[in-house]
Amino acid sequence: MVVCHCRAVSERSIRHAVEGGAADVESVGRRCGAGTVCGGCRPTIEMILTGVCPFGLTSLSGGDAVWAVS
């Protein structure tokens, strides 16, 4: 799922940045570019950083995301 449309950055790329040590939106931006243009994706990046999965996604080991089925 694309989170940052300005830079075409996926949720997976953002999760990799977080796994690599990014601890806030600015450090995510330095690592993958997300949130550095218009800022519209910054709230979603914050949700990813705090462990809240946006878009009804559930994280799997390895950083992949899938639609949750209930």
- Would you state the torsion angle of the CA atoms of residues 52, 43, 65, 68, taken in this order, to the nearest 10 degrees? 60
CB neighbourhood size of 19 (10 A): 10
pLDDT tens for each residue of 13-41: 999 999 899 999 999 999 999 999 999 99
The β-bridge relationship of strands 65-67 and 57-59 is antiparallel
pLDDT at 3: 95
- How many domains are contained in the chain? 1
DSSP label of 57: E
Q: Residue 31 is part of a domain; what is its CATH number?
A: 1.10.10.1100
Confidence category of residue 51, pLDDT binned at 50, 70, 90: confident
Domain that holds residue 63: 2-67
